[in-house]
């Protein structure tokens, strides 16, 4: 499984999760990463890209 977006380099984020009784535990937030075919210099290539980059138009999907 890919852990980083190849466009924006977004990866895991770490933090603390608080329960209702305010007990603390470590947790991670993972970006929504998909393996898609994108156009790189006019040729289709498979890359791991986060959905934020896909939605914002930073990459163009190959059909």
Read off the pLDDT band of 1 (50, 70, 90).
Answer: low
Determine if residue 48 is left, alpha or beta; phi over 0 gives left, psi from -120 to 50 gives alpha, anything else beta. beta
Reduced to 3 states (helix: H, G, I; strand: E, B; else coil), residue 24 is strand
Distance CA 21, CA 26 (A): 15
* Domains by residue range for the chain, with CATH: 1-63 (2.30.170.40)
Residue 46 CB partners (closer than 8 Å, separation 6+): 35, 36, 37, 38
Q: Each residue of 11-55: pLDDT tens digit?
A: 999 999 999 999 999 999 999 999 999 999 999 999 999 999 999
Residue 60 CB partners (closer than 8 Å, separation 6+): 38, 39
């Amino acid at each position: 499984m890919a852990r980083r977006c190849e466009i924006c380099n977004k990866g895991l984020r770490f933090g603390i999760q608080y329960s209702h009784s305010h007990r603390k535990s470590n947790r991670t937030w993972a970006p929504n990463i998909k393996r898609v075919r994108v156009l790189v210099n006019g040729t289709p290539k498979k890359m791991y890209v986060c959905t934020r980059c896909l939605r914002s138009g930073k990459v163009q999907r190959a059909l």
